[in-house]
Amino acid sequence: MLTTIIKKEILENISSYKFTIVILLSTVLILTSIFIMYRDYRLRMENYGILRPESNDPTALVKPTPLSIFAKGLDENLCRSYQIRFGGQITVGSKQQSVNAIFRLFTTPDLLFIVKVIMALCAMLFAFDRISGEKEEGTLKLTLSNHLHRTSVIFGKWIGGFTSLVIPFILAVLLSTILITFSPLVQMQANQWVRLFLFILSSICYMAVFFSLGLLISALTHRASSSLVISLFVWSLLIFVLPNLGNILARQIVQIPSVQQLEVRRQHIWIKEVFDASHGRIQWNDSHPNINRENNMLMADYRSKFRHLVNISKNITRLSPAAAFAFLATDLAGTGLVEEDRVKQVVLQYKNQVFGRETDSDGNLIGEFPTFSYNRMRLEDVLNWESLGNFLILILFNILFFATAYVAFLRYDVR
């Protein structure tokens, strides 16, 4: 009987106008997203080729990753050029520009955004009337009058409904992935294909969370209209309110200096050392390492506070499955907070290698410099306890929502 119910759910979904609208909308959005992000990646690769440092240029520059097409995350920040100047000062290259300034006005439309917002909404729209809607139509009462066990009914509705949603999603993602791989610019390595597979797997798990949640809401209401309103409210709460509220609360708990305050402190260090050197308090040769040491201490204090802020923010925002999915997806793509922190550590190490060179009248280092190189985190390093924890959170949300929906359906009044 379970197979019969699954087939019934799939056939009903396929023949409904809701299925046609949702599938067409999601497919068009996914294909459009991949096309836009591919163009963005191509522009950033051109930017990387132009700004790539030569042997006489102490600049740290990271190459964009093709996985940023699917989950851009912080990749634009990661790929900024960092110039090493007098006293170990690190400045963003003057030639560095955002290659897609329009993304500053709107949210980056990558696959991560499509899944996190649009596909989560589609999942709830598929599930919100699975029980309450059939009760209004009277079909649920007729179904259960045939001595069907409620366990088979609820499992059949979940499997059939979610299958109707996830198969078109997988096909759209596969089609878009095949199209961009024809470009010689997109050179995916074996570990990146594995990362992409895990990203798609986590996307499916995330969509299942909202499908289970929609089924739960349907099992707690008796009218489809009420279920729809509650579903939209809960969707907006989990997607937009909780993640932003968590960030606000974290900033109230941990106070860190702003970028402007940090720059003022750097200028104060530089002015103080130059003033002491010009008045004979220290030797000019000693001012350079002093400035570098003070800058290192300043940055170490800032990075410590920033990591504390990030950890608290993550712990609070993980109350939303959207935040847990975003952290997991960007870590898998190599465009997340962990990767950004690692890049800045490597840039600081590179700075300590070259800061002691001679400078010209403008404070630029001169001479031959070692070439900056950076390799993104290995997959085995990405699959750490934090990433597995984010995936476990999605699994736990699935179990919680479906188990509650199951219990609610066992007690559901179909009359």
Q: What is the pLDDT of residues 77-113, one digit of tens each?
A: 888 888 776 656 677 765 555 556 666 667 788 999 9
For position 97, what pLDDT does the model report?
Answer: 53
Per residue in 104-131, pLDDT (tens digit) is 667 788 999 999 999 999 999 999 988 9
- Closest by alpha carbon to 158, among 224, 211, 218? 211
Q: Residue ranges per domain, the chain?
A: 2-410
pLDDT tens per residue, range 338-393? 898 898 888 888 877 776 666 665 556 666 777 888 888 888 888 887 888 999 99
| pLDDT above 70: percentage of residues in the chain | 86
Angle at 170 between CA 164 and CA 176, to 5 degrees: 135
Would you state the pLDDT for residue 141?
A: 82
pLDDT digits (tens, 9 = 90+) for 208-221: 999 999 999 999 99
Using a cut of 0.85, tell me whether the model's pTM lies above it. yes
Under 8 Å between Cβ of 290 and 245: no
How many angstroms separate the CA atoms of 250 and 247, rounded? 5
Whether residue 333 contacts residue 195, with contact meaning beta carbons closer than 8 Å, is answered with: yes
